[in-house]
Every structure is written in structure tokens, then in C-alpha cells.
Amino acid sequence: MNCVGCRLANEQENVYVVYETATLTCILDYMPFNPGHVLILPKGHAGEVEELDPKTAIDIMEASRFLSKAVNAAFNPDGITIIQNGGVFNDLDHYHMHVIPRFEGQDFAEFFSEEGEPEDEAVLAQAAGELIRIIKEMEHHARV
């Protein structure tokens, strides 16, 4: 299947990859709730959570944990929201998990609004650069 999510996860579209494993590609959301909003996508197609194989499901949870640390270090939010939308709410027709930096006073109902504009490329590039820098530091310290 060549759905939008498959094309994003396999970098057949223009994406800002911030972290990648053998099974996952983690990219910046092009319409972020806040800078540093990351999508975790399996490289193999799965439409819904129940279609994930056990290894990929575990990889997604490990990536969400790792990326939460990176987003906290890079953007210093008041909190992180991790969410996955299934069924008719899955706008990519491909399983994906959101890791979203949040700040006090923000109305999260806006996240579910259909309105919004894609983020400026320069803003996305800056956010990607900061996250990649932090992730490389985290990976380096894990090896030491």
C-alpha cells in the first residue's frame, strides 16, 4: 500500500526526519501544535494500532519515551502529550503517534481543529536541527 503515511515514513515525501530506527521514521509534523511536535510512523504499513506487530508496537513506545526526553531538553515545555488517533480520525490512513510539547494556558481543543496552516520551512528546519542536536547528544551519552 502506498498511503500518505507510508510515503512519509519511507521518505518519499519532503519530511524533516529527527530520529529513525530499522522499523520507524520520526518526523516533524508539518502543521505542529507547537515547535517540536513529532510524528512516529512505522515504515511498514499498519492502519490501526491493532494491526501493529508486537515488535513495532514496542519500538513505537520506546521511541515515544526517547523523543519525550529530547523534546523536553530541546523546547522546555510544561508537559508532553502523546496521542494516537484511529478510525475516521486517522488522517494519514497509517498508524502514527504524536509527541507534542505543551505549555500551560494552551487550549488543546485547537489540536483537534481542522483549521491550520503548514509551518514555515525555516521554522521546521530550525526545530529539526535542535531536536537532532539533542538526540545525537543523548545517543552519544548512551554509548559512553
Q: What is the pLDDT of residues 19-72, one digit of tens each?
A: 999 999 999 999 999 999 999 999 999 999 999 999 999 999 999 999 999 999
Within the chain, residue ranges assigned H as helices are: 4-9, 54-75, 121-143
Instruction: Tell me what pLDDT residue 141 has.
Output: 84
The 10s digit of each residue's pLDDT in 59-112 is 999 999 999 999 999 999 999 999 999 999 888 999 999 999 999 998 877 777
Q: What is the total count of domains within the chain?
A: 1
Instruction: Tell me what pLDDT residue 59 has.
Output: 97
CA-to-CA dists, residue 120 to 31, 127, 131, angstroms:
9, 11, 17
State which residues form the domain around 20: 4-143
pTM summary value: 0.90
CATH classification at residue 40? 3.30.428.10
